[in-house]
Amino acid sequence: MEESVLREKAMPSDLGGWVFHLGTKFVLAMSRSTAVAPMAAAARKLRQQSHGFDGQAVPILVVPFMGDAGRRACLEEQVGWFDLSGNAHIVAPGLRIHIEGKPNRFKTSGRPANLFAPRSTRVVRWLLIHAGESIRQRELARATELDEGFISRLVTRLESEELVERDPGGAVKARNPALLLDLWRETVAKSKPPMVIGHVAARSGDGLLRFLADAFLDAKLEYAATGLAAAWAYTHFASFRSTTIYLPVYPSTEVLKHLGFLEEPRGANLRLVIPRDDGVFLDIQKPDGIRCVHPVQAYVDLKWEPERSEEAAQRIRTEYLHWSQDDR
């Protein structure tokens, strides 16, 4: 990159920022917020404003700390970034900078409010499944089987984070479904649900899944496949070995004996998960006759699955969670 005299001029926007010319023009803007929605909005506006420099400027967003969801938002907007914690991703003619793994230096003290706590995800899940559809809070409470007071407090918090928006009549919907999904997945990855891991003799993952479905049906035990097993049921993307099943209660000794279940992490091919909230069972689908969580939940759960989980997640997102720009 050819060196030249450093020049600076005001950025024609209300974001604030500078243009540095070192053979390439860089437009910088800072977002003080660590919330993902404001970051994404800033990245989108920065990209639009960068076109005011003959379309040649490289937009760069500066934030205190950039999480996974924020990185995805910047990638979608084609905006480079660096954070004050030491991470960066900047691509320009003759320049490529990529630094990751530096911890957040700006964590607030105390326990932050979790928008994706177990009960809260009932609301998030509903908003994503019905992306683009507005709903009044009272109706949302009925749909999610939660009390109206809880719904009111949660929606207010989601609104303050710019994750939901209201229409003139007061009904709410996800402001940017893709961003909300990314943020949920990023948050849930930090806290795996309690599970029992073991092995059941089976020739294949789909063979094990069908065996389990029949066994739980015979035992009159509610279940729902998630993760790789659900991804296979929905897309037949690829063969898999590890099967993850949600159960409302831990199965009895008789059921486990019938399954031939051996609790042993080594060589395990089955994960039995007792969810922290039964909301995962509210939107059950039956692809190929197998009870599965909704694709939204399966996509989120693939974050802590082994094998080809990221590829499976991308396939689910492509086939089932392809929200249009009108839903953003």
* Average pLDDT value for the chain: 85
Determine what percent of the chain is predicted with pLDDT higher than 90: 55
Q: Is the predicted pLDDT of residue 185 greater than 80, yes or no?
A: yes
Lowest-pLDDT range of 14-23, 66-75, 205-214, 240-249: 14-23
**Using one digit for the tens of pLDDT, what is the confidence trace for 229-260?**
999 999 998 889 999 999 999 999 999 999 99
Whether 228 and 305 have beta carbons less than 8 Å apart is answered as yes
Residue with tokens 């939901």: 164
What pTM was computed for the model?
Answer: 0.73
| pLDDT at residue number 19 | 57
Whether 273 and 247 have beta carbons less than 8 Å apart is answered as yes
Query: How far, in Å, CA of 204 to CA of 269, rounded?
Result: 10
Q: Is the predicted pLDDT of residue 79 greater than 50, yes or no?
A: yes
Q: Is the predicted pLDDT of residue 120 greater than 70, yes or no?
A: yes
Burial class (CB in 10 A: 0-12, 13-18, 19+), 58: buried
Which stretches does DSSP call E strand in the chain? 18-21, 25-30, 58-63, 80-83, 88-92, 95-99, 164-166, 172-174, 195-198, 224-226, 243-246, 270-273
At 213, which helix (H) or strand (E)?
A: helix 205-218
Q: Is the predicted pLDDT of residue 21 greater than 80, yes or no?
A: no
Split at pLDDT 50, 70, 90, the class of 71 is confident
- Residue among 85, 84, 90 at smallest CA distance from 26: 90
| pLDDT at residue number 95 | 86
| pLDDT at residue number 9 | 41
Count of beta carbons in the 10 Å neighbourhood of residue 182? 23
Cα atoms found within 13 Å of the Cα of residue 105, Cβ hemisphere only: 9
**Using one digit for the tens of pLDDT, what is the confidence trace for 137-180?**
999 999 999 999 999 999 999 998 889 999 999 999 999 999 89
Whether 139 and 130 have beta carbons less than 8 Å apart is answered as no
Q: Residue 245 pairs with which residues in a beta bridge?
A: 225, 272
Pick the residue with more confidence: 259 or 53? 259
DSSP string over 39-102: HHHHHHHHHHHHTTTTT--EEEEEES---HHHHHHHHHHT-EEEETTS-EEEEETTEEEEE--P
Residue 192 tokens read as 């795996």
| pLDDT at residue number 192 | 76
Whether 40 and 71 have beta carbons less than 8 Å apart is answered as no
Q: Is the predicted pLDDT of residue 45 greater than 50, yes or no?
A: yes
Strands 164-166 and 243-246: unpaired
CA 80, distance to chain mean position in Å, is 21
Split at pLDDT 50, 70, 90, the class of 14 is very low
How far is residue 174 from each of residues 4, 154, 194, 204, 214, measured CA to CA in Å?
A: 46, 13, 29, 39, 37
What DSSP state is assigned to residue 194?
A: P
Average pLDDT for residues 262-267, to the nearest whole number? 90
What DSSP state is assigned to residue 35?
A: S
Phi/psi for 245 (5° steps) reads -130, 130
| pLDDT at residue number 173 | 96
Q: Residue 246 pairs with which residues in a beta bridge?
A: 224, 273
